[in-house]
Each structure stands twice: as C-alpha cells, then as structure tokens.
Structure 1
Amino acid sequence: MESTRRKLIDLLSRYPDEFVSGQVLSEQLNITRSAIWKHMKELEKDGYVIQSVPRKGYRILKNPDKLSANTIQWGLSTNWLGSRVIFEKTTDSTQVIAHHLGREGAQHGTVVVADEQVKGRGRLNRTWYSKKGDGIWMSLILRPEVEPQQAPQLTLLSAVAIVEALEEITDLAFYIKWPNDIYVHDHKIAGILTEMQAEQDQINYIVQGIGLNVNQNREDFNMISDNEPTSLKIETGMAWNRRPLIQVILQQIERLYERYLKEGFLPIKTMWEERAYRLGQPIMVSSKNQNWQGIFKGIDQDGALIVTDQKGRDHVLYSAEINWRSGGHE
C-alpha cells in the first residue's frame, strides 16, 4: 500500500505543472481509477494539496509541511536508509525508541523521527533542546559489519554527511567540532550521539541520534548557554520545511556509508579534516588532571584527536575536555 502511494507521488512529481490523467496513473500503477482516488484522499490527509479536474486528471499544488512516516518516505531516494520510518509526535527520546527496536531485531536502516522530544539528550547526558516543530530529532539503527572499535568512525562519517547536506541547500560554510558537533559562525547547530550494543568482536547494532536546530528563533535559546546554539532560521533569515532536510541528510549518510564500506575510512577522514573546526589552531587540553596547550593537527585512522604539544610531540586523544577558544570549556 505505502509503496503504491510512494510511486504515485513520484509519478505526479515528475510533472509539477501538468495534469496526469487517472487512466495513465491506473496503467502505470496497475490499480483501478477508484483506487487512485482513494490514494489521493489519503495523501490529502498527510498535507498534500492535490487538484483534480475531470477529463484532465490530477496534479500536486503543494507538498506537505508536516512530518509523518509517509511524507518522509515519499521522495526519499535512498536504497535502504529510511526504508522503514517510525514517527512519533512526542516522545521522551528517539534514542530510547531506537534502542528498543534494535534489541527487537529492527532492520538495518530503520529511522526513528520525532516532532518533539521531552527528554532529548546529547553526549555526556547533556540535555538537548527539542521543542515541537522546531528541529530535526531522529535516530538511525545501523548494523555495520565492522569491528566494534571502528564504531566512532561512523560518527565522523555522519558529521561529514550532515555538513554536505547543509551546504547543498544553503550558501553557508559549516564545520565539524570533534567529535560530534556541527558549527556555523562559531555556534553549534547540530549534534550526533552514537551508541553501540556489541559483543567483544561483533556489533549487534548502533543507534545514531541526530539533532539539528532548524526553525528556532534567537529568543528560544535565551535560557541555554551551552555551546551558544543557533539554528538554520537564525543563520539564513528564513523558515525551513524539515521534510526535505531530513531526506537530503539521509541520502548523504547512505552515500558516504556505502563509500566507507567499499573504500574504508581514509576518504571520510580526508573529508572530515577539510571541514574540521579550528584545524591547525591552538587549543587547551584537559586530560589526566593536566592542562596544556597544543595545536589541533587532525584525526587518526580510528577517529581519535591528534594534538601537537609545545615540544612538537603528537598526542592521540580518545577523550579529553577541550577549550577550543578562549572563554571556557565547550
């Protein structure tokens, strides 16, 4: 049923300024004209505005602004990522739902999306501001056939994919702050939280949470000081339809994921470093009860941070508190 409706949307979308007759749709989809009419009514429930004219046929006047599993999948040109979409209007956290689905055997590429999270969280259990309708809050279930120690590479991969997706639709420059944040104009706009269920030598599943600030206004962040957040609306001066944003992000993640499986991490590493926040700049490192200054040199093959100290020695850091610029920890 959903695949038929998805094909129907694809057919109508090919001719945005023309009517497509019921007969043509019936022949293309191998269903009756009465069934076509019923599908149109379901599409209207999801927010599509469809014009129907006798002896001419149907055409789409307006795509939906609202999110649902259906609207996310219609027009999504991926092979497997998003082949199953779970949508919740309000939930505690998409991560919680995705973990439950992962333990129950949900297929690789399942995506959980929420319009609102009331207990959204980021790295180190920090609260993630997830107001209804203002952002993209979603979690991906992945079952990669790689070693557990390679899992951090997938965070870096998705960061590159999100930056490429955002730069595809805006004229802004975005940067990746190690290990999991997306920045624009020195302000955080998105974050990634990757969690894994694994045995010693095998990943059972990975849940990757993505939070992207889209339509918040400046005053929405007045009570939040962490990372001085921003949104696409603040940076571009316009509101955004979240559905196509989700689609382009999923499409970019799938593309890079498949390249990663074929070519390994090196191409991803190169793309990540091209977009790295403050690469080559001095930073302050706090680790093992010591504070020291160094130069951010890049990342190594497993995604760890490489910092060169004042004596020219390289340090590979898997976890540390970093002061990326003067003013305190971020």
Structure 2
Amino acid sequence: MIDLEVLKSHLTTKWVGRDRLFLKQTDSTNNLAKNPPHVLVHGSLVLTEYQLKGRGQSDKSWFGDAYKNLYFSIYTKPLKIEGLFLLSLISALSIVESIRSYHLFHPLMNQMRFKWPNDVYVGKYKIAGILTENIFQGGLLKATVVGTGWNINQDQFPINLQDKASSLRLLFPENWIREELLARYLNFFEHYYTLWESQPNELVRILNSHLLGYNMPVRVVVDGLKLPGVYTCLGVDVQGHLRVLNKEKEVDTFTYEQIRIYPV
C-alpha cells in the first residue's frame, strides 16, 4: 500500500500534494475530488489504490490492478481561465520528466512522448492517461481537477491491450517505487503549473518539444471525420488549442474536443 510518509519525505513542493485525501478504493479519484468528504484546498492530492470506475476521455474505461500503479487527482483552483487545457499536458509532461529524472541508460528513454490530447506513450505503448474536469459554481470556475492513471508495476494486460498498453516495470529494468515516482511527479507538476501562471509562452515551448507529431506531417481527424491530405502539426498555443498547417499553407486551430492527429 502507498506509504504517505515516504511520499512526504520526497516532496519539495510548497503546495501541491501537501494536503492529501487517500482511500483504499473509490469509483474514481476525479469523482472523489469533485465530491470530497472534506474541503479540499489548492493543490490537494486525491489518491487511491484502486478505481472501481477509472475512466479517461470520452468515458473510456481504464484497466489496472490494485497496489501496483498510481491513480490520483490534483485539485486546483486556477486564477485564470485562459489555457486551462494545458493542465492536462502539464500532467503528461510531469510524468515524462519524472521518468527521465532517473537518468536511465535505455533506448526507450528517448521514445517518451505525450499524444494529443491526453496520453503518455513510450514507443508504441500507452503508459498513462489524463482526464481533466472543470467544476463550475454559479457560472464561475470553482476548481479544475487533473486526474491521472499511470501504469507502474502492472505485469500483465488483457490480450486486447497487449500490443497497445504497457507499464514501467515491463518496459524498463528498474525497481519502481511508487511513492518516489509520485513525489517526483508532484514536484514537476508544481514547477510547470507555476510556469503556466507566469510564463505561458515558455511552458508551451517545452510542451511542444515533447508532443508526439510536433513539426511533423500528420493525418487529421476533426469531429470524428478524417480530413483528406497531410497536414503539419504546429503544436499547442497558450490557449491550449492545437494548430496545424493545411495544404494551402494556412494555420487551422482546434480545441482538444475537436481534433485528433496521427503522425504519418
């Protein structure tokens, strides 16, 4: 089981993860964060060992065993609305940076990217997914919950997922300590969240350098329809929108709900 004292010993944050809500199991940490048993504060960490109804974008289910992986949400109270979707990408970036901070000499370390809009990949394998949800009260933004499912020590997957999903344990020959990984993630999350508030252009530059398909030819699907031809992915902007260059050399901009891209 997750040892909260070990987690705390690795934290260097000022506010992310300092307040913690832990349950052995819950339907989903995002739901728990939206309906907590006590008041949450900016940066509260909601953590569980097992999600009964873990989900991702478009209500897709999330597969994972108990006591092997990381299932958590961060409760935030943003001071601005501009670029809220970038918080999903900050979570993805924090996962990538957490793994890279171990400085492993392994060829797959150079194949870590996040895929628009909310998945983290190592090579062809998905290792994490993010679901960000906003809470409104009286028409005003009250909070944003950034939920993450991260495969750490998962050692087997259903047949239908074996060529799509994997875990750190299966990909890298390391003894992954979940508390230390989570602490590293939280440390990076606070750093990049602060950058989002103060230097969004610099954050976007860093995000794009880790985005799968950035500055590459891609196929584009908009609102479920595959568009003809090949586009060039220009990356995200400070609004959290994805930009692509079309065949007429014009820039088209889309929200995360609208567009999916696939490198050629």
TM-score (norm 2): 0.88
Which residue identity does 2:193 align to in structure 1?
Y
Kept in 2: contact 1:68–1:87 (CA 8 A): no
Greater helix proportion: 1
- Please tell me the root mean square deviation across aligned C-alpha atoms, in Å: 2.2
Describe how 1:135-174 pairs up with structure 2 within 5 A: 135-147=69-81, 149-171=82-104, 172-173=109-110, 174=112
- Higher relative contact order structure (alpha carbons within 8 Å, sequence separation ≥ 6): 2
Alignment partner of 1:81 is 2:16: yes
Which residue identity does 2:135 align to in structure 1?
Q
Which residue identity does 1:98 align to in structure 2?
A
TM-score (norm 1): 0.72
Instruction: Output the CA distance in 2 between the equivalents of 1:116 and 1:290.
Output: 36
> Aligned in 2, Cα 1:223/1:134: closer, same or farther, shift over 3 Å?
farther
SS in 1 for 2:52: coil
Deviation, 1:196, is 0.4
SS in 2 for 1:83: coil
Kept in 2: contact 1:137–1:212 (CA 8 A): yes
1:26-65 CA-partner distances (Å, limit 9, x unpaired): xxxxxxxxxxxxxxxxxxxxxxxxxxxxxxxxxxxxxxxx
Alignment partner of 1:300 is 2:234: no
Kept in 1: contact 2:234–2:243 (CA 8 A): yes
Deviation, 1:300, is 1.9
Q: Which residue of structure 1 aligns with residue 61 of structure 2?
A: 127
Greater strand proportion: 2
Kept in 2: contact 1:176–1:277 (CA 8 A): yes
Deviation, 1:325, is 4.2
Q: Which residue of structure 2 aligns with residue 47 of structure 1?
A: none
Alignment partner of 1:322 is 2:256: no
1:92-114 CA-partner distances (Å, limit 9, x unpaired): 11111111129x64111110111
1:268-297 CA-partner distances (Å, limit 9, x unpaired): 100011111121222222225452331112
Instruction: Output the CA distance in 2 between the equivalents of 1:302 and 1:247.
Output: 28
Kept in 2: contact 1:118–1:130 (CA 8 A): no
> Aligned in 2, Cα 1:268/1:251: closer, same or farther, shift over 3 Å?
same
Q: Which residue of structure 1 aligns with residue 153 of structure 2?
A: 215
> Aligned in 2, Cα 1:152/1:321: closer, same or farther, shift over 3 Å?
closer
Which residue identity does 1:277 align to in structure 2?
L
Which residue identity does 1:274 align to in structure 2?
S
Q: Which residue of structure 2 aligns with residue 203 of structure 1?
A: 141
Q: Which residue of structure 1 aligns with residue 122 of structure 2?
A: 184
Instruction: Output the CA distance in 2 between the equivalents of 1:322 and 1:262.
Output: 29
Kept in 2: contact 1:176–1:272 (CA 8 A): no
Kept in 2: contact 1:285–1:320 (CA 8 A): no
Alignment partner of 1:112 is 2:46: yes
- Between the aligned residues of both structures, percent identity stands at 25
Q: Across the two proteins, how many residue pairs are aligned to each other?
A: 256
| Contiguous gaps of at least 5 residues in structure 2 | none
